[in-house]
Amino acid sequence: MIKILANDGIDPIGKAMLEQAGFVVDTETVAQDKLVDALQNYDAITVRSATKVRQELIDQCPNLKLIGRGGVGMDNIDVDYARGKGLAVINTPAASSLSVAELVFAHLFTGVRFLQDANRKMPVEGDTKFNALKKAYAKGVELRGKTIGIIGFGRIGRETATVALGLGMNVLAYDLFPFEGNLTLNLQGGIKVDIPVKTVSLEEVITNSDFISLHTPFADKPILGAEEFEKMKTGVSVVNCSRGGTIDEAALIAALDSGKVAFAGLDVFDNEPTPSTAILQHAKISLTPHIGAATNEAQERIGVELATLIIEHFNK
Ligand code: NAD
């Protein structure tokens, strides 16, 4: 009988699928320093981002045959080492794309109507300075008809583009690997609309967009820094739901303070989980604590995808 430790939890539907397939699934979290002992009794472990599966752990758990990551990034797993020792390592890269894309629009709709500031000031001044606040937040803008620039046109970038197209926005996209093809809008009544999209140069995205959203992994340096902010339209806005480090935070603050950038929406930060107070307290930044994939729907899709891959692996 195959035993699985879902150490960072698993959605109940995924758990039920595994149990129906005859597997035993334990969801009680074992502390990192107790994992070596616990894993002697398991064939597989699934994790999200909290549990680390490093070389030493892999070496000390000879019964382990599979490591599953619910989500995308596998920074917490020594993937190559595990595969080199013959373990299967799986993840669920596509399951959370729509949730991250929708969070981009949560930040955009927030910023264009100053909600990040209104939500801070209304509880404090809403009863004494109502009319002054009303005036302060009077110059909102609409998204329809505006241009969103998307940097990184993989799964989440394309999903973000699809939501934007559905809202009637124009899309300018850039990726290291050019893309030309259709994005499909799935509308009410099963109606599908294919919209052709072709990537353009990074320069074009940076100079011609009203809003810019980042969807690349972090490499060795920020993708948006002082030089890029300088080339953007005045009044541009920037959203980062990708990875900390892809925006130069000091350059972002300078661009917000100078009025070059109207607002920013950030889900990811340098130095997580202790972002800088200058970022956290800036009136023009809408903030979320890395919750891009944290929706019920995404977690359910992650659970189902993980369960499917685990069942396939052990039944082949
Ligand atoms: P993906 O691999 O499908 O797409 C990433 C794309 O970025 C690829 O097409 C790649 O070619 C492109 N790219 C890489 N470097 C680039 C560069 N310098 N310039 C332009 N394009 C570049 O990945 P994805 O699933 O779309 O995820 C995108 C990002 O979102 C990742 O950093 C991922 O870690 C992050 N993410 C965040 C959350 C969250 O909770 N906020 C959740 C899931 C994923």
What integer best gives the mean pLDDT of the chain?
Answer: 97
The predicted structure's pLDDT at residue 17: 98
Q: What is the mean pLDDT of residues 292-297?
A: 95
Please check whether residue 315 is in contact with residue 21, taking contact to mean a CB–CB distance below 8 angstroms.
yes
**Is the CB of 155 within 6 Å of ligand 1?**
yes
Looking at ligand 1, which residue's alpha carbon is closest to its atom 14?
216
Give the chain's domain count: 2
The predicted structure's pLDDT at residue 72: 85
The predicted structure's pLDDT at residue 226: 98
Structural domain for 149, as ranges = 97-287
The predicted structure's pLDDT at residue 146: 98
**Is the CB of 176 within 6 Å of ligand 1?**
yes
Q: How far is the CA of 18 from the centre of ligand 1 (A)?
A: 30
Residue 73 in this model has a pLDDT that exceeds 90: no
Residues 283 and 301 in one domain: no
Residues 87 and 105 in one domain: no
Residues 279 and 148 in one domain: yes
Residues 306 and 204 in one domain: no
Looking at ligand 1, which residue's alpha carbon is closest to its atom 4?
154
* pLDDT more than 70, % of the chain: 100
The predicted structure's pLDDT at residue 158: 98
Residues 117 and 264 in one domain: yes
Residue 65 in this model has a pLDDT that exceeds 90: yes
The 3-state secondary structure of 214-278 reads ECCCCCCCCCECHHHHHHCCCCEEEEECCCCCCECHHHHHHHHHHCCEEEEEECCCCCCCCCCHH
CATH number for the domain that contains residue 281: 3.40.50.720
**pLDDT tens digits along 221-248:** 999 999 999 999 999 999 999 999 999 9
| Mode of pairing for the β-strands spanning 261-266 and 285-287 | parallel
Residues 199 and 62 in one domain: no
Residues 126 and 251 in one domain: yes
Please check whether residue 3 is in contact with residue 295, taking contact to mean a CB–CB distance below 8 angstroms.
no
Residues 180 and 281 in one domain: yes
Q: How far is the CA of 62 from the centre of ligand 1 (A)?
A: 33
SS3 content of the chain, % helix, strand, coil (to 5): 40, 20, 40
Looking at ligand 1, which residue's alpha carbon is closest to its atom 1?
154
Residues 51 and 18 in one domain: yes
Looking at the CA of residue 268, tell me the nearest atom of ligand 1.
Answer: 41
Candidates 242, 267, 287: which one to mutate for ligand 1, based on the most atoms within 8 Å of Cβ? 242
Please check whether residue 268 is in contact with residue 217, taking contact to mean a CB–CB distance below 8 angstroms.
no
Residues 107 and 238 in one domain: yes
Q: What is the mean pLDDT of residues 173-202?
A: 98
Residues 51 and 166 in one domain: no
Q: Annotated catalytic residue: which of 48, 107, 243, 301?
A: 243
The predicted structure's pLDDT at residue 27: 96
Q: What is the mean pLDDT of residues 281-289?
A: 98
* pLDDT more than 90, % of the chain: 97
- Residue 159 among the catalytic residues: no
Please check whether residue 89 is in contact with residue 82, taking contact to mean a CB–CB distance below 8 angstroms.
yes
Q: How far is the CA of 284 from the centre of ligand 1 (A)?
A: 25
Q: What is the mean pLDDT of residues 82-92?
A: 97
3-state DSSP assignment of residue 77? strand
**pLDDT tens digits along 6-56:** 999 999 999 999 999 999 999 999 999 999 999 999 999 999 989 999 999
3-state DSSP assignment of residue 153? coil
Residue 214 in this model has a pLDDT that exceeds 90: yes
Residues 133 and 206 in one domain: yes
**Is the CB of 96 within 6 Å of ligand 1?**
yes
**pLDDT tens digits along 108-164:** 999 999 999 999 999 999 999 999 999 999 999 999 999 999 999 999 999 999 999
